[in-house]
Structure 1
Amino acid sequence: MRFEVTILGSNSATPLFGRHHTAQILNCNEIVSLIDCGEGTQLQLQRYGIKANRIKYIFISHLHGDHYLGLVGLISSMHLNGRKEDLHVFGPEGLKEIIDLQLHYSETSLRYKLVVQTTSPHTAETILSDANFDVMTFPLSHRINCTGFLFREKQRLPRINKDAIAALNIPTPYYPLLKRGIDYTDNEGKVHRAADLTTPAPVPRSYAFCSDTVNIKSYWPYIEKVDLLYHEATFLHDMLERAVETFHTTALQAAEIAKAVGARKLVIGHFSARYKDLQPLLDESRTVFSNTELAIEGETFEI
């Protein structure tokens, strides 16, 4: 089953050096979600061959412009392109008002249903339980209310072991019962354990998106043992004072967080426009956490 993240935008407040504002695509078993939607997201979707109307869910971390100013344009384009399916948007208080206001003054009546759900900036909560994954928000510490997102695959059922059942003539309709752990009794009364006729499903994978935040430990419990951690790393550590002042994180701190929570892999992004060359940020992070990669636009990370 596909579980992967594609980077659309990786810069912070100013889009420079060919880098765009924050946006990512998460594909979980062909269910497509958009995480943040800075300016230029539509063009990035086109650039990397991702059809906007495939997006089912949109998650907005906070209301700084580099994380949401592309949203109304994307919503409008979906309307113009004949979207019919409901679109679910999750974001902070005020987001629905912003969307409604712009649609009102442009006299736009959407062809599809737009469902906007407000996230809590103060408590962690599960905001979505899809057939394929669960989504939790957790509070971050930024200059304005900001949430992180944890995406976790649903536990799948075991798979039928075709070699083990080959000679047993088990009726096909019984397969779902085996997957649920129900043993099979043959015509001679012999019990065949479901565990012997199936193979365990893979362990569910997880992805954590930590948007703008100063380095504090309060959100660490929510991202423990995550398979892939995206964490902002706006500055090099020699700019720590500036990072604290603006409620951001350094590349070194992002690595320390990944190590502390036991993440398997770290991707850093949200780069300050002061850095044309990103290699120093990668090098700094790898001094603490070797399995670090840069959020290079167009890159896809399989989880």
Structure 2
Amino acid sequence: DCSPQAIQSLRKYNLAPNQIDYIFISHLHGDHSGGLPFFLLNLKNCESGVVTISGPPGLKKQITNVYAEYFGDIDITEYFKFKSLTSEYPFSLQYIEGDHSVLDYVYKIKLDDKIIVYTGDTRPIDLSKFAQNADYLIHEAGEIDSNRAHAFAHTTPIQAAEIAKNANAKNLILIHRANFNQELIDNIHSIFPNTLLPNDLDIIESTK
């Protein structure tokens, strides 16, 4: 995904947009795809580089319209290569639909013998097979209260921990979350001990 803060985050690590090879968008909400017009603006100013991008239907139209609104018309295919999720990639890619207020894709990528599953935004869904034995399950935890989570199509951290446990994942990374108090953190770890709570710009080194 590409949040509106994505370009600022890249700059803090001295990375240019043309150093990114692939972008996979889970769904077309602003906090997940709203950074793409600004990413494109900065990519346009690079000397060279085309970034492959994939996601739900309507992605190209959304980027084109928002970019035009802010910066003027552009042929975005000069900078973005839009690729079907059913195409071949230099790594194993699978996806299923989540359960959100709009179409959401849950991605599974196998790269260098590591399996990474990323949910985007979703209510709790059965990932026991799709995320089975995943090295990293990156799961949203957008609401703490289960009733609010259901109403707004999100997952609680407790529900995400149970999903990771049922999938026999090796590590759970909780994102899209508020600050948790210590009692909640303890409850999460009691269900799934290998739960990570990263902050923005944290780097998680893959274990061998």
Fold-level similarity (TM above 0.5): yes
Would the aligned equivalents of 1:128 and 1:136 in 2 still touch at CA under 8 Å?
Answer: no
2:82 match: 116
- Provide Cα deviations, 1:241-260, integer angstroms capped at 9, x if missing partner: 11111111111111101110
Q: Distance in 2 between matches of 1:86 and 1:245?
A: 39
- Provide Cα deviations, 1:199-222, integer angstroms capped at 9, x if missing partner: xxxxx11111111111121x4321
Change (3 A) 1:245 1:144: same
Name stretches of at least 5 consecutive residues in structure 2 with no aligned partner. none
2:41 match: 76
1:208 match: 117
Change (3 A) 1:259 1:76: same
Q: Distance in 1 between matches of 2:165 and 2:102?
A: 27
In our comparison, the structure showing a higher alpha carbon Rg is 1
Does 1:85 pair with 2:49? yes
Would the aligned equivalents of 1:140 and 1:148 in 2 still touch at CA under 8 Å?
Answer: yes
Does 1:228 pair with 2:192? no
Q: Distance in 1 between matches of 2:60 and 2:159?
A: 34
Would the aligned equivalents of 1:79 and 1:111 in 2 still touch at CA under 8 Å?
Answer: no
Does 1:39 pair with 2:4? yes
Would the aligned equivalents of 2:114 and 2:135 in 1 still touch at CA under 8 Å?
Answer: yes
Greater strand proportion: 1
1:62 match: 27
1:254 match: 160
Which amino acid in 1 is paired with 2:82?
V
1:287 to partner: Cα distance: 1.6
Change (3 A) 1:153 1:111: closer
1:118 to partner: Cα distance: 4.9
1:283 to partner: Cα distance: 2.6
Aligned residue pair count: 204
Would the aligned equivalents of 2:137 and 2:164 in 1 still touch at CA under 8 Å?
Answer: yes
Does 1:51 pair with 2:11? no
- Provide Cα deviations, 1:126-145, integer angstroms capped at 9, x if missing partner: 54421xx2222211111110
2:102 match: 144
Would the aligned equivalents of 2:64 and 2:76 in 1 still touch at CA under 8 Å?
Answer: no
1:80 to partner: Cα distance: 1.3
The 10-residue stretch of structure 1 (254-263 or 107-116) with the greater mean CA deviation from structure 2 = 107-116
Q: Look up the SS of the partner of 1:253 in the other structure.
A: helix
CA RMSD across the alignment: 2.1
Change (3 A) 1:95 1:229: same
Seq. identity, %: 29
Change (3 A) 1:278 1:95: farther
Name stretches of at least 5 consecutive residues in structure 1 with no aligned partner. 1-35, 120-125, 155-203
1:99 match: 63
Q: Equivalences for 1:176-195 in 2 at 5 Å?
A: none
1:6 match: none
Q: TM-score, normalised by structure 1?
A: 0.62
Whose RCO is larger (CA < 8 A, sep 6+)? 1
Change (3 A) 1:280 1:42: farther
- Provide Cα deviations, 1:83-123, integer angstroms capped at 9, x if missing partner: x232211011111112223445503345944222355xxxx
Q: Distance in 1 between matches of 2:62 and 2:18?
A: 21
Would the aligned equivalents of 1:235 and 1:281 in 2 still touch at CA under 8 Å?
Answer: no
Does 1:240 pair with 2:146? yes
Q: TM-score, normalised by structure 2?
A: 0.89
Change (3 A) 1:94 1:110: closer
Q: Distance in 1 between matches of 2:200 and 2:89?
A: 29
1:288 match: 191
Q: Distance in 2 between matches of 1:280 and 1:137?
A: 34
Q: Distance in 2 between matches of 1:251 and 1:111?
A: 39
Q: Distance in 1 between matches of 2:202 and 2:81?
A: 30
Would the aligned equivalents of 2:4 and 2:31 in 1 still touch at CA under 8 Å?
Answer: yes
